[in-house]
Amino acid sequence: MSTANSAHIGERHSYDVVIVGAGGAGLRAAIAAHDAGARTAIVCKSLLGKAHTVMAEGGIAAAMGNLWPDDNWKVHFRDTMRGGKMLNNWRMAQLHAQEAPARVLELEEWGALFDRTADGLISQRDFGGHRYARLAHVGDRTGLEMIRTLQQRAVSLGIDVFMECTITDILKDGKDGDKVAGAFGYWRESGRFVVFEAPSVVLATGGIGKSFKVTSNSWEYTGDGHTLALRAGASLINMEFVQFHPTGMVWPPSVRGILVTESVRGDGGVLKNSEGRRFMFDYIPEFFKAETADTIEEADRWYTDKKNNRRPPELLPRDEVARAINAEIKAGRGTPHGGIYLDIASRRDADYIKRRLPSMYHQFKELADVDITREPMEIGPTCHYVMGGVEVDADTGASSVQGLYAAGEVAGGMHGANRLGGNSLSDLLVFGRRAGLNAAYHAARVKNQTPVSIHEEAVQAAANTALAPFAEEGGENPYSVQKDLQEVMHSLVGIIRTADELEQALAEIEKLAERAEHLTVEGNRQYNPGWHLAIDLQNMLWVSECIARAALARTESRGGHTRDDYPMTDREWGTKNIVLSEREGAIDLAIKPLPALPDELKALFEEQS
């Protein structure tokens, strides 16, 4: 090919707003930016419609009150904050709860077909940590409906999409500028470079789960946006909080980690150990005692009568359930393949299961030879979601770098120490829209006042960095380094952590980073996954270090962060955020106060019902 190994940059585009990512957050941001009059482009690593959002199963949380008229934004806000162990950015949680219903209705306006209630409204289902049945859904393929609706909307608006194009650098204004001026990337198909000039860039790149061995996340989740932000001068918060979803498949080995939706429990499924005991009753924490059923009878009545009964302990927030499962397995009460039983077969009839959970039925039947209408599933925790992300302004999604915005899983703050199921899809819509709008406003301001321009040296440097793995001979295979990193994160920075292990992890990550400086890739630049991984691996190392550092610093247990050596939740830590930034190539850690809850919202937690 003509591009063999030249760092030549032949292709340039100019836009007002460039959105990095085409999941729910990126697409919603693009639609908003377009509607605000900005010339908008979407750039994404996979084909359009294949982002993680497509895999979401259970639903979109929004207090529409279609089934339970008592539901409203205040209840949703309260549930979200309690689920996040009060570490959420309150303003984000408030905006999210207030705006989610309108964002869901808008999807319907754009063609989405949600499941209906008897009177023809959007149906809502139960999920962990939500007081009322609140998740708008389509069977167990809600993410597919959401991404297709947004994708079709974006296409009909004529928004430009650059598919299979990976952004590797945020470009700044001038030589030492502090404003965003564009983004640099390569086409996966040809390996050729491309430069986007734009005063506003929105990061909507999703999460980091590929750094862990057992995960529900795909190859895309290498923490690109987290690292792009860090390297561009923005900060990350809450990185110690990684969500392990309680129910991933455990067998056969090749599907280990693939998600089993929480809807199985929302629709009546229960967890049992090898002795057949519904063990979740043994793990109800003090914090949730008042709202959790303590007998099987009460728990079972709750599905039909929520007013007079409390929620089954299987529907506690995910961090609680994941820890309980972990403890049961460690105590030797696991299944033959090292999991726990998730049983819906003995509780609901086959037709109901197939109607409510068609893709779970399909997934187990085809991948594990298990008929979930007849036998229990074997499940165990899997790395699923990162609460941590770019520190942003709640109302606008702006990072501390002018022109750089973040929304969706890559943004931090909204979910605090633990995310409730269903609150991600709604987060994407609410904050995707806000970030897109504000990125468009920013672009308009910049164009009228102080136009920005890209610094050519930075472009060349980005090109050279990307090509480095081709120059190296006799270096390591990127796949081996990735595998070792996943092992380190899994065994030393997993669900249960200790200072010793975290320190060991940091030492290991440092060694891996050294190895990653000398990677060798086979072949040429044309659609070369080995090369792509060599580039992504650098980001995986950055975020892994961030997670381990923050986890070491937070000497307490809270939500998605459990320290064996500090098993209690600490009031002091409840008012603090760990903020990470980059300084001279190293990670800098600071502790900052959490924005305090205003009195009128505080009252919502006192009127405990």
Ligand X SMILES: Cc1cc2nc3c(=O)[nH]c(=O)nc-3n(C[C@H](O)[C@H](O)[C@H](O)COP(=O)(O)OP(=O)(O)OC[C@H]3O[C@@H](n4cnc5c(N)ncnc54)[C@H](O)[C@@H]3O)c2cc1C
Q: Give the interface size with other proteins as a residue count (CB under 8 A).
A: 65
Q: Does residue 363 bind ligand X (CB under 6 A)?
A: no
Contacts 24+ apart (CB under 8 A), 444-447: 444/16, 444/37, 444/38, 446/179, 446/199, 446/200, 446/403, 447/16, 447/199
What is the distance, to the nearest Å, from the Cα of residue 581 to the centroid of all Cα atoms in its chain?
20
Choosing from 149, 216, 399, 418, the residue that interacts with ligand X (CB under 6 A) is: 216
C-beta of 295 vs 480, nearer to other proteins: 480
Q: Does residue 109 bind other proteins (CB under 8 A)?
A: yes
State the Cα–Cα distance between residues 5 and 16, nearest whole angstrom. Answer: 31
Q: What are phi and psi of 46, to 5 degrees?
A: -105, -175
Question: Which tokens go with 248?
Answer: 């991933």
Q: Does residue 129 bind ligand X (CB under 6 A)?
A: no
Q: Which residues are known to be catalytic?
A: 245, 265
Choosing from 17, 18, 19, 25, the residue that interacts with ligand X (CB under 6 A) is: 25
Residues 336-355 that bind ligand X (CB under 6 A): none
C-beta of 146 vs 406, nearer to other proteins: 146
- Are 378 and 340 in contact by the 8 Å Cβ rule? The answer is yes
The alpha carbon torsion through 312, 320, 237, 406 (nearest 10 deg) reads -40
Choosing from 89, 211, 326, 363, the residue that interacts with other proteins (CB under 8 A) is: 363
| Closest-CA residue to 223 (of 29, 413, 389) | 389
Look at residue 602 and give the partner it binds from ligand X, other proteins, none, a contact being a CB closer than 5 to 8 Å depending on partner kind.
Answer: none
Query: Least CB distance from residue 47 to ligand X, whole Å?
Result: 9
Choosing from 149, 200, 217, 238, the residue that interacts with ligand X (CB under 6 A) is: 217
Choosing from 274, 359, 465, 569, the residue that interacts with other proteins (CB under 8 A) is: 359
Judged on CB neighbours under 10 Å (0-12, 13-18, 19+), 380 is buried
State the Cα–Cα distance between residues 111 and 155, nearest whole angstrom. Answer: 13
- Stretch touching ligand X by CB under 6 A, among 16-24, 307-315, 368-376, 566-574: 16-24
Site map for ligand X, 400-439, x if CB under 6 A?
A: --------xxx----------xxxxx--x-----------
Residues 233-262 that bind other proteins (CB under 8 A): 251-255, 258-259
Site map for other proteins, 205-234, x if CB under 8 A?
A: -------------xxx--------------
Choosing from 34, 45, 85, 558, the residue that interacts with ligand X (CB under 6 A) is: 45
Q: Cα 393–399–401 angle (5° rounding)?
A: 140
Look at residue 523 and give the partner it binds from other proteins, ligand X, none, a contact being a CB closer than 5 to 8 Å depending on partner kind.
Answer: other proteins
Q: Give 528-573 as a DSSP string.
A: -HHHHHHHHHHHHHHHHHHHHHHHHH--S-BTTBEETTB-S--TTG
What is the distance, to the nearest Å, from the Cα of residue 15 to the centroid of all Cα atoms in its chain?
27
- Stretch touching other proteins by CB under 8 A, among 118-126, 225-233, 371-379, 592-600: 118-126
Query: Least CB distance from residue 416 to other proteins, whole Å?
Result: 28
Q: 598 preceded by cis ω (within 30°)?
A: no
Judged on CB neighbours under 10 Å (0-12, 13-18, 19+), 525 is buried
State the Cα–Cα distance between residues 170 and 484, nearest whole angstrom. Answer: 28
Cβ neighbours around 538 below 10 Å, total: 20
Question: Which amino acid, residue 193?
Answer: F
State the pairing for strand pair 404-406/496-497. unpaired
What is the distance, to the nearest Å, from the Cα of residue 416 to the centroid of all Cα atoms in its chain?
13
Residues 155-184 that bind ligand X (CB under 6 A): 166-167
Question: Which tokens go with 291?
Answer: 């709202």
Query: Least CB distance from residue 291 to other proteins, whole Å?
Result: 29
Q: What are phi and psi of 130, to 5 degrees?
A: -95, 125
Q: Does residue 90 bind other proteins (CB under 8 A)?
A: no
Choosing from 18, 32, 55, 392, the residue that interacts with ligand X (CB under 6 A) is: 55
Look at residue 58 and give the partner it binds from other proteins, ligand X, none, a contact being a CB closer than 5 to 8 Å depending on partner kind.
Answer: ligand X
Look at residue 204 and give the partner it binds from other proteins, ligand X, none, a contact being a CB closer than 5 to 8 Å depending on partner kind.
Answer: ligand X
Q: Does residue 53 bind ligand X (CB under 6 A)?
A: yes
Q: Does residue 477 bind other proteins (CB under 8 A)?
A: yes
Question: Which amino acid, residue 434?
Answer: R
Choosing from 50, 78, 311, 442, the residue that interacts with other proteins (CB under 8 A) is: 50
Query: Least CB distance from residue 542 to ligand X, whole Å?
Result: 13
C-beta of 118 vs 290, nearer to other proteins: 118
- Are 244 and 257 in contact by the 8 Å Cβ rule? The answer is no
C-beta of 70 vs 282, nearer to other proteins: 70
What residues make contact with other proteins under the rule CB under 8 A? 46-52, 54-55, 105, 108-111, 113-116, 119-122, 138-139, 141, 144-145, 148, 152-153, 155-156, 163, 189, 218-220, 251-255, 258-259, 359, 362-363, 366-368, 477-480, 483, 521-524, 526-531
What residues make contact with ligand X under the rule CB under 6 A? 20-26, 43-46, 51-53, 55-59, 142-143, 166-167, 204-206, 216-217, 220, 224-225, 259, 385, 408-410, 421-425, 428
